[in-house]
Amino acid sequence: MKIITWNVNGIRAVERKEELQTLLQQYQPDFLMLQEIKGSVEQFSSFLKQHPDYQQYYSSAEKKGYAGTGIWISNKRSQQVQKLSFNTDVPRVPNADEGRISHLSFQWKNADWDLLSIYFPNGGKSEQAWEEKLVFYDRIHDYMNTLRDQKRIVVVGGDMNVAHTEIDLARPKANDGKIGFHPSERAWMDRLVADDWSDVWRQRNPGVTDVYSWWHMISKGRERNVGWRIDYFLMEKKHLDRVKQVDYLQDQMGSDHCPMVIEVN
């Protein structure tokens, strides 16, 4: 299975730029996990809601032009899986009306799979937003464990809005303690690792520096590669031998984030 995750920072804009079309043509993913779609189905073109090659599922925010997630599954792959279902509900997650979770479940080759496309909160708007971000982290961790306890294979992809270690952002000293690189957020990543979850790319690339997934566009951070690695694939450690490939697609334009691709046996 080839899975791509991408914070598109507005799916309609990425479509207008034809960058989404470029991604699909070049990589032909079985599953496309989207974050920050910033729209709802009634606003979308037929390409975004009736694509001839994909089934498309969305979880939109009630607030127009804000947040939202989605998952596409290729028709070819959907014909090979069983018990396919889509869900947007995670118990006790703050701001459930923001469409931050898209969850696709299915059975494939006698195994139960769960794909979670998640747009984690930034947490910078207010003290309440910050506290809700920390709660969101813990609730997602609990949900991942719940699925794992059911002997399911869980793949989490998305914009997690945290750089885990100093080598995951270009300027760690200048950002130490700030939102996105705060000890409380980084401690959540530590807890995941201690709980046998793995940042798949980092596990494959220990010590590698200068690889980022988000750049500040106004300051031309992408051109200078002054960025943050805040987009991830997470899997349970015991399933890492299934991973054939995991990469950041840094040449793909259209958003302030670049996509990630993972191939899983």
pLDDT digit string, tens, across residues 170-224: 999 999 999 999 999 999 999 999 999 999 999 999 999 999 999 999 999 999 9
The per-residue pLDDT for 35 is 98
**pLDDT for 197:** 98
Q: What is the mean pLDDT of residues 247-265?
A: 97
- pLDDT-based confidence at residue 232 (cuts at 50, 70, 90): very high
**Spatial distance between the Cα atoms of 167 and 183, rounded to a whole number of angstroms:** 15
Please state the rounded mean pLDDT for residues 239-255. 98
Query: CB–CB of 30/59 below 8 Å?
Result: no
Active site residue 97: no
Give the pLDDT of residue 41: 96
Are residues 199 and 190 in contact, defined by beta-carbon separation less than 8 angstroms? no
pLDDT of residue 253: 98
Decide: 85 and 106 in contact? Cβ < 8 Å. Answer: yes
- Number of Cβ within 10 Å of residue 248's Cβ equals 18
Interstrand relation of 31-35 and 2-7 (parallel, antiparallel or unpaired): parallel
Q: What percent of the chain is modeled with pLDDT above 70?
A: 100
Contacts of 145 (CB under 8 A, 6+ apart): 195
Identify the domain containing residue 64 by its residue range: 2-264
Token digits of residue 208: 């590698």
pLDDT at 53: 97
Residues 69 and 90: their CA atoms lie apart, in Å, by 14
Q: Each residue of 160-193: b (16+ CB within 10 Å) or e?
A: bbbbbeebbbbeeeebeeebbbbeebbebbeebe
- The pLDDT value given to residue 193: 97
Query: Which one from 30, 114, 159, 199 is the annotated catalytic residue?
Result: 159
Domain count, the chain: 1
Mean pLDDT value across the chain: 97
CATH of the domain at 15: 3.60.10.10
